[in-house]
Amino acid sequence: MVGEPVKSKLKKMGVTLEYAKDGTFPQFAAAHAADKILLLADRNTRRYAEELSLPHTSLCFIDEDEPVPDEAVCGKAVQEARSCDYVLAVGSGTLNDTAKYAALMTGKKSGVLATAPSMDGYASPVAAIMKGGFKVSEAAHVPSDILVDPAVLAAAPQEMIAAGAGDILGKYTCLTDWRLAQYHTGEAVDEEAFSDMLDAVQKVSSSVEDIARRDKCGVEKLTDALIISGLAMAEAGNSRPASGAEHHISHYLEMWFVAQKRRVPLHGIKVGLGTLVSAYLYEALERDGVTFKGDAATYLAAKAIPPVQELRTTLQKLGAPVQFSALGISRELFCETIKKAHTVRSRYTVLTLLQELGLTERYLPQLEALFY
Ligand SMILES: [Zn+2]
C-alpha cells in the first residue's frame, strides 16, 4: 500500500486511490451512489465488472480477448458513455486508455479498477489510442479514482506481472538517462519526481522473489510503483521519469509489430529487454573509459542501476524473456533498432550518446552476442 505522502500527492492531482476491503470499494460506492456508472470490460475482465457491487451500472462489453483502443472500440465506449455519469475501466492497458478517451470526449469523469499490474498508465493523464493504424497520445484527464484489489492483481496472468515488473525495472535506466541529459546537455531534473520514482523501483527490486511467487504483498508493491510512475510523470510535467532509451527500443519494435499486423508483445516485456541494452551500455562505456561531457557524474549516477547480470536474472525469475529473438524478431531488426531507436523521440539518452560519439558500430556486436 502506498504511504500517506504518495496518497496525498495523488489527492492533490485529483486522484483518489482506494484499496479493496473484502473485495469491495465502500468509499467509491458511497461517493458515486447517485451516478450511473459505465463499466468498460473485455472477455478477461467481465467477471470483475459483474462482481462489483455498485447500485447503478451498465456494462460496455468489448467482446475480445486482447482489444486495441482503435476507432471501433473507442467509438463504442464514447457512444455508451453519453448516457452515463462516469466511466470506470475494469482492466488495464487498452480499457484504461479507452475509458480516459471516452471520458474526455463526453466530458465525464473516469476511473479504473486495476486488474493486472502490467503497465504504468493508471495515474497518467495520457490516453494512448490507435487512429488510422497509428498510436497517438491524446491529452486526457488523470482518472479520478484508482481502485486496487491486490487479490485480483495477484491472480493476473504471469506474463502481465512480468511486463509490469519490466516496465518498472526500466526506470533504473531511464532515470540514469535523465541524469546523463542533465550533465551532458543541461536538461533540468525534477528531483522530487526523480526520487519518488527511484524509491519505488528500489522497493520493487527488493521484492522480486515475492512478485515472482505472486505473493499479494509483492504484487501490491509492483502496483504501487506503477501508480507512482504516473505520479512522477505528473510531477515532472513529462514522461522523463518513466521513459528513456529502453522505452524508445520498445516503441521502435512496437511500430514494426503494428506494421506487420502481428500481435504486439506486452509493452513491459519489450521495455525489460531494452533495459538490458541500456544497462549494459552504461557498464561498458565506463569499463572502456569512454569520455564525454559530464562523464564522471553520469557514471556515478549509473551506479544506481543493478549490474546487467543481476537484471537479467531478475527478468528470468519473473518469467520474462532476456533475448530479443524470443519475440520472434530478426537479427536485422534487432540491429536496426539499436541504430535507430534514438530517433523515435527527441529525448537525450544513452543511445543518443552512442550515436553522437560514433560508437554504435563498436558496441553493436557485443549487444547482439549478449541479447539477440
Ligand atoms: Zn512504460
Give pLDDT, residue 274. 98
Residues of the chain below pLDDT 70: none
DSSP state of 343: G
Distance 137 CA to ligand 1 centre (A): 13
Measure 32 CA to ligand 1 centroid, in angstroms. Answer: 31
Terminus-to-terminus CA distance in the chain, angstroms? 37
Counting Cα atoms < 13 Å in the Cβ hemisphere of 333 gives 16
End-of-domain residue from the set 98, 126, 154: 154
- The last residue of one of the domains, among 97, 122, 154, is 154
Angstrom distance (rounded) from CA 77 to CA 39: 10
CB-count burial class (<10 Å; 0-12, 13-18, 19+) for 191 = exposed
- Convert the pLDDT of each residue in 178-216 to its tens digit: 999 999 999 999 999 999 999 999 999 999 999 999 998
* Cα(220) to centroid(ligand 1), Å: 18
Q: State the distance from the centre of ligand 1 to the C-alpha of 245, rounded, in angstroms.
A: 11
Q: How far is the CA of 76 from the centre of ligand 1 (A)?
A: 27
Residue 53 C-alpha to ligand 1 middle, in angstroms?
32
For position 159, what pLDDT does the model report? Answer: 94
Take residue 248 and report the three cell numbers written for it.
524508445
Q: Which residues form the domain of 31?
A: 4-154
The predicted pLDDT at position 332 comes to: 97
21 & 55 share domain = yes
Residue pLDDT, tens place only, 89-102: 999 888 999 999 99
Q: Are residues 169 and 317 in the same domain?
A: yes
In this structure, the answer to whether residues 82 and 117 fall within a common structural domain is: yes
The pLDDT value given to residue 185: 97
Q: Are residues 70 and 210 in the same domain?
A: no
Q: Report the domain count for the chain.
A: 2
The three cell numbers of residue 11 are 489527492
Q: Write down the pTM of the prediction.
A: 0.91
Q: What does the alpha-carbon distance between residue 128 and residue 179 come to, in Å, rounded to a whole number?
A: 27
Q: How many CA atoms lie within 13 A of 187 on its CB side?
A: 20
Q: Can you give the pLDDT at residue 203?
A: 95
- The SS3 call for residue 4 is helix
